[in-house]
Copies of this chain bind each other. A is one copy, B any other.
C-alpha cells in the first residue's frame, strides 16, 4: 500500500493507472475505521483494480459547536486496517493541502442538502459535497463506494455526480451493525456502556415501523408516530427527526402507495452523542394482504 500526502502526486499516480487501463475505486473516509468502512474497501476492491482510500477529517462538514477537534483519530491503526481490507493507495492530505488559506469556493447541491439532516446540520452536506468534488478531481475514480448508513449523504453524492457530470459510478454498501442493531459509526466510541446498550432502540424503532408497514400501514404520520413512540421508551433519547420519506427524492406524501420505495430516517441524540440510522422498505402491494 502506497501512502500519498500531496495532491499532485495523487493525480499523477491516478493518471498513470488510468492510462494503463486500470479501474480506480475511491473510498472517502474520515478515518477511525470500523467494520463498516472495511466493507466499503472490500467491495471497492471487488469492483475495481486499484482502491484509493482517503482519510481526511473534513472541517467543512462540522459546525463550530460540533466535534471536529475531538473527532476520534488513529492513523497507525487505520493504516493497517485499510491495507488489510485491500487498499492500494492511502491518500491522507492535511487540512491546508485541501483548503489553502485563501480558499473561497462554495458549492451546494441545493434543496436536498437542506432537508432532514440538513435542517439540523445546515452546512453539513455542502461541506461533504466540497470535499467529495475535490477528492473526485484528485483521484479520478471510475467508481466510488459509500455506506448506506449515511443515506441522505449517498443521495447528495448521487446528485452531485449527476449534476456536475462526474463520470463516476456510485456504489452503496449496506449498513454494518453491532450485535444489538446499532449501526457502526466512528462516533460510537463516545457512547458509555449503558448508552451503547440503550442505542439498540433506533434499530428497534425502525423494525417496529417496518412490521406495521408489512401489515398494511401506509399513512406517513402514523409510521412516523410509531418510531417516535418506540424511541421515547428510552428517556435519554432526544429526537431530531424520525420520519418516513420516498427513498428516491425524500418527498413526503400523506400516504404511501403500494410499490413505493420508502426510507425510514432517524437522527437522535443519546446523551451527547448524535446517532443516525435508516432502513429501506418497499410498501407491499394490496394483493399481499388478500393472499394471506
The reply to whether B134 and A165 contact each other, CB–CB distance below 8 Å, is yes
The reply to whether A164 and B105 contact each other, CB–CB distance below 8 Å, is yes
Could you say which residues of chain B place their CB within 8 Å of the CB of A252? Answer: none
| A134 closest partner in B (C-beta) | B165
Residues A160-179 near B (CB distance < 8 A): 160, 163-167
Report the minimum CB–CB distance from A5 to chain B (whole Å). 14
Could you say which residues of chain B place their CB within 8 Å of the CB of A103? Answer: 163
Q: Which of B11, B104, B111, B164 contacts A111 (CB 8 A)?
A: B104
| A166 closest partner in B (C-beta) | B137
Contact A106/B108 with A19-B19, A164-B134 known, Cβ cut-off 8 Å: yes
Residue interface mask A152-164, B partner, CB < 8 A = 1:
0000000110011
User: Taking the complex as formed, is A276 at the interface, i.e. its CB lies under 8 A from any CB of chain B?
Assistant: no
CA distance in complex: A104, B109 (Å): 6
CA distance in complex: A106, B104 (Å): 14
User: Taking the complex as formed, is A140 at the interface, i.e. its CB lies under 8 A from any CB of chain B?
Assistant: yes
CA distance in complex: A163, B133 (Å): 10
Q: Which of B104, B109, B111, B159 contacts A163 (CB 8 A)?
A: B104
Report the minimum CB–CB distance from A54 to chain B (whole Å). 12
CA distance in complex: A254, B160 (Å): 43
User: Taking the complex as formed, is A198 at the interface, i.e. its CB lies under 8 A from any CB of chain B?
Assistant: no
User: Taking the complex as formed, is A204 at the interface, i.e. its CB lies under 8 A from any CB of chain B?
Assistant: no
Q: Which of B138, B159, B164 contacts A137 (CB 8 A)?
A: B164
User: Taking the complex as formed, is A107 at the interface, i.e. its CB lies under 8 A from any CB of chain B?
Assistant: yes
Report the minimum CB–CB distance from A186 to chain B (whole Å). 25
- CB-based closest 5 A-B pairs: A104-B110, A105-B163, A137-B165, A107-B107, A11-B167
8 extra interchain contacts, Cβ-Cβ under 8 A, other than A105-B159, A134-B165? Answer: A15-B167, A104-B110, A104-B112, A105-B160, A106-B107, A137-B164, A137-B166, A138-B165
